[in-house]
Amino acid sequence: MIQPVILSGGSGTRLWPLSREQMPKQFLRLTSSQSLLQQTLGRLAGLTDRAPIVMGHHRHRFLMAEQLREIDQAATLVLEPEGRNTAPAIACAALLARQSGDDPLLLVLPADHAIGDIKAFQHSVSQAVPLANDGYLVTFGVVPTQPETGYGYIACGSPLEGGNRIAAFIEKPDAMRAAALLESGGYLWNSGMFLLRASTYLDQLQKLQPAMLSACDDAVTQARGDLDFLRLDEEAFRRCPSDSIDYAVMEHCDCAAVVPLAAQWSDIGSFDALWATGDVDAAGNATKGDTWLDDTQDSLVLAEHRFVATLGVQNLIVVETSDSVLVAHRDQAQQVKQLVSALSQAGRSEPCSAPQVQRPWGSFQSMDGGERYQVKHITVKPGGRLSLQRHHHRAEHWIVVSGTARVTLEERSFLVSENQSTYIPIGALHRLENTGKIPLELIEVQSGSYLGEDDIERLDDVYARDSHE
The mean pLDDT values, 10 residues at a time, for the chain of 469 residues are 94 92 94 96 95 96 94 97 95 96 96 96 98 98 92 96 96 92 93 98 97 98 94 96 96 97 94 91 96 98 96 98 95 94 94 89 91 95 95 97 97 96 97 96 96 90 76
For residue 189, being part of any structural domain is answered with yes
For residue 230, being part of any structural domain is answered with yes
∠ CA 354-18-465 to the nearest 5 degrees? 30
Co-location of 369 and 252 in the same domain: no
Q: What pLDDT is stored for residue 454 in this prediction?
A: 87
Which residue type is seen at 17? Answer: P
Co-location of 192 and 94 in the same domain: yes
> At which of 320, 345, 370 does a domain end?
345
Co-location of 104 and 141 in the same domain: yes
For residue 469, being part of any structural domain is answered with no
Co-location of 56 and 100 in the same domain: yes
CATH code, 133: 3.90.550.10
Co-location of 447 and 315 in the same domain: no
For residue 351, being part of any structural domain is answered with no
∠ CA 28-285-41 to the nearest 5 degrees? 25
∠ CA 34-36-37 to the nearest 5 degrees? 95
Structure-derived torsion over alpha carbons of residues 442, 448, 453, 454, reported in degrees to the nearest 10: -140
Co-location of 78 and 208 in the same domain: yes
- The Cα–Cα gap between 386 and 407 comes to 10
Q: What pLDDT is stored for residue 93 in this prediction?
A: 98
- The Cα–Cα gap between 417 and 403 comes to 6
∠ CA 316-322-323 to the nearest 5 degrees? 85
Kind of pairing between the strands at 53-57 and 2-7: parallel
Q: Do the Cβ atoms of 186 and 156 come closer than 8 Å? A: yes
Q: What pLDDT is stored for residue 467 in this prediction?
A: 60
For residue 278, being part of any structural domain is answered with yes
Upstream peptide bond of 88 is cis (omega within 30 degrees of 0): no
For residue 6, being part of any structural domain is answered with yes
Co-location of 260 and 276 in the same domain: no
Transcribe 82-120 into DSSP letters: S---HHHHHHHHHHHHTTTS--PEEEEEETT-EES-HHH
Kind of pairing between the strands at 105-110 and 187-197: antiparallel
Co-location of 337 and 194 in the same domain: no
Co-location of 413 and 455 in the same domain: yes
CATH code, 432: 2.60.120.10
Which residue type is seen at 378? Answer: I
> At which of 345, 379, 404 does a domain end?
345
Co-location of 91 and 129 in the same domain: yes
Q: Do the Cβ atoms of 138 and 253 come closer than 8 Å? A: no
Which residue type is seen at 370? Answer: G
- The Cα–Cα gap between 254 and 127 comes to 20
Look up the pTM and report it.
0.91
Burial of 349 (0-12, 13-18, 19+ CB in 10 A): exposed
Q: What pLDDT is stored for residue 464 in this prediction?
A: 83
Q: What pLDDT is stored for residue 160 in this prediction?
A: 97
Per-state percent for the chain, helix, strand, coil, to nearest 5 = 25, 35, 40
Co-location of 152 and 30 in the same domain: yes
Q: Which domain holds residue 202?
A: 2-266
For residue 466, being part of any structural domain is answered with no
Half-sphere exposure of 208 (CA within 13 A, CB side): 22
Co-location of 240 and 127 in the same domain: yes
Radius of gyration from C-alpha coordinates of the chain? 24
Question: What is the number of structural domains in the chain?
Answer: 3
Transcribe 239-291 into DSSP letters: TSPP--HIIIIITT-S-EEEEEE-S-EE---SHHHHHHHS---TTS-EEESSE
Q: Which residues are paired to 192 by β-bridges?
A: none
- Using alpha carbons, select from 330, 376, 268, 275 the residue that is nearest to residue 27: 268
Kind of pairing between the strands at 440-448 and 373-380: antiparallel
- The Cα–Cα gap between 178 and 176 comes to 5
∠ CA 26-32-38 to the nearest 5 degrees? 45
Task: Report the run of H or E that residue 338 belongs to, with start and end.
Answer: helix 336-345
Q: What pLDDT is stored for residue 11 in this prediction?
A: 82
> At which of 266, 281, 299 does a domain end?
266
∠ CA 419-425-428 to the nearest 5 degrees? 115
- The Cα–Cα gap between 115 and 310 comes to 30
Q: Helix 210-221 to helix 198-208 angle, to the nearest 10 degrees? A: 130
For residue 468, being part of any structural domain is answered with no
Q: Do the Cβ atoms of 101 and 228 come closer than 8 Å? A: no
